[in-house]
Structure 1
Amino acid sequence: MNIKSEKGMTLVELLAVVSLSMIVMVAAYHAFYFVTGAVETSSTKTEIRKEANILVLSLEEHLINVDSINVQNADTTTFQAFTAKATRLNGMDDDSTFTYIEETAEVSIENGHLLIDDIQQNADDMDLSNTTFELNGNKLTVHLEIFKENTEETYSLVKIFRLGTE
């Protein structure tokens, strides 16, 4: 009777297992790296969109019912600073006549920041250097362009404000 006892693994079997294990680990690493990068990019884009929403809400708050815009330079096609004027109802005086007050808001893009009445509206890591304003008749168009520092992500949107009492 000839009984063959096979104990252990051959060198070829061991090399095959190690090779397959390495291939699986490299594939898992690449999948993890890809997913991590995609999540980071998505998170950055979401952060920039939230920043854009906050900035638009801030502009809407300060530019609601604006009657006129005074541009600080001669070119009204594209500019980065202006003064907005609005006349608001203050109330009624003793003889039942309405009284009004005039409010102004200074809006500018300086050093990559949106300033409204000298208060920075955007986060420090968001750059708005390419943001411009355009005045066309009774419409103020805001070309908002946000760039997040230390990334390649940018976000652009256009918001139009109507001026006057239409």
Structure 2
Amino acid sequence: MNIKSEKGMTLVELLAVVSLSMIVMVAAYHAFYFVTGAVETSSTKTELRKEANILILSLEENLINVDSVKVQNADTTIFQTFTATAARLNGMGEDSTFTYIEETTDVSIQNGHLLIDDIQQNADDMDLSNTTFELNGDKLTVHLEIFKENTDDTYSLVKIFRLGTE
């Protein structure tokens, strides 16, 4: 009696299945790697923009109605430290005249951090070392440049504050 079963797979068929499976798995890995990298890059850029918006809002809150800026060094074109002064209404005197008080705000870039009245405004993993300020007449220009540590990503933003008592 001669019994032959032809229901099994040949070695060639098995090698073909394994080869095709490997090609599909390599393609899936590369697609996953590409998507993961794109998501990480997008996430970092979003984080930088969010940080920039927070810092600009903080500067706006502290520099609203600023009348003058005193720069610590002699060069007023580009600097990283200044004191802003604003005259605030204190009330009305007994002779029906308004009285004002002067409030000052110290702003500086130190060790890569934005400090407003010695309070750090930016996240610890954000570096603002290249951020500068510029005074041109009645305009204070902020050149905000944020660098996220451990990445090559940076974000730049320019904000102009108008000084004066108008």
TM-score by length of 2: 0.95
- 1:28 maps to amino acid: A
Unpaired runs of 5+ residues, structure 2, are: none
Deviation at residue 5 of structure 1 after TM alignment: 5.0
User: Superposition RMSD on alpha carbons, in Å?
Assistant: 1.3
Match of 2:104 in 1: 104
How far apart, CA to CA, are the structure 1 residues paired with 2:31 and 2:148? 26
Give the stretch that moved more between structures: 84-93 or 22-31: 84-93
- Structure 1 match to 2:50: 50
Give the whole-Å Cα distance in 1 for the aligned partners of 2:150 and 2:127.
Answer: 11
Secondary structure of 1:65 counterpart: coil
1:67 equivalenced with 2:70 (yes/no): no
Q: For this pair of structures, how many residues does the alignment match?
A: 164
The equivalent of 1:14 in structure 2 is 14
| TM-aligned CA deviation for residue 6 of structure 1 | 2.1
Give the fraction of aligned pairs with identical amino acids, expressed as a percent.
90
Unmatched 5+ residue regions in structure 1?
none
What residue in structure 2 maps to residue 150 of structure 1?
150
Distance 1:68 1:74 in 2: 16
Report the Cα distance in structure 1 between the residues aligned to 2:154 and 2:20, rounded to whole angstroms: 42
Whichever residue aligns with residue 118 of structure 2, its letter is D
Distance 2:84 2:151 in 1: 33
- Structure 2 residue identity aligned to 1:43: S
TM-score by length of 1: 0.95
Deviating more after overlay: 38-47 vs 128-137: 38-47
Moved more, 92-101 or 128-137: 92-101
Structure 1 position 93, deviation (Å): 2.5
* Partner SS for 1:66: coil
Matching residue of 2:39 = 39
Q: Deviations over 1:50-96 (max 9, x none)?
A: 11011000000111011011110111111000010110111112332
Deviation at 1:165, TM superposition (A): 2.1
Q: Where does 1:18-29 land on structure 2 (aligned, <5 Å)?
A: 18-29=18-29
Cα deviation, 1:122-159, whole Å, max 9, x if unaligned, reads 01100000000000111000000000111111100000
Give the Cα–Cα distance (whole angstroms) in 2 for the partners of residues 12 and 96 of structure 1.
103
**Structure 2 residue identity aligned to 1:138:** D
Bigger Cα displacement from structure 2, 113-122 vs 6-15: 6-15
Q: Which amino acid aligns with 2:44?
A: T
Following the alignment from structure 1 to structure 2, what is the Cα–Cα distance between the partners of residues 115 and 74? Answer: 21
Q: Which residue is 1:135 aligned to?
A: 135
Query: 2 CA distance for matches of 1:97 and 1:165?
Result: 17
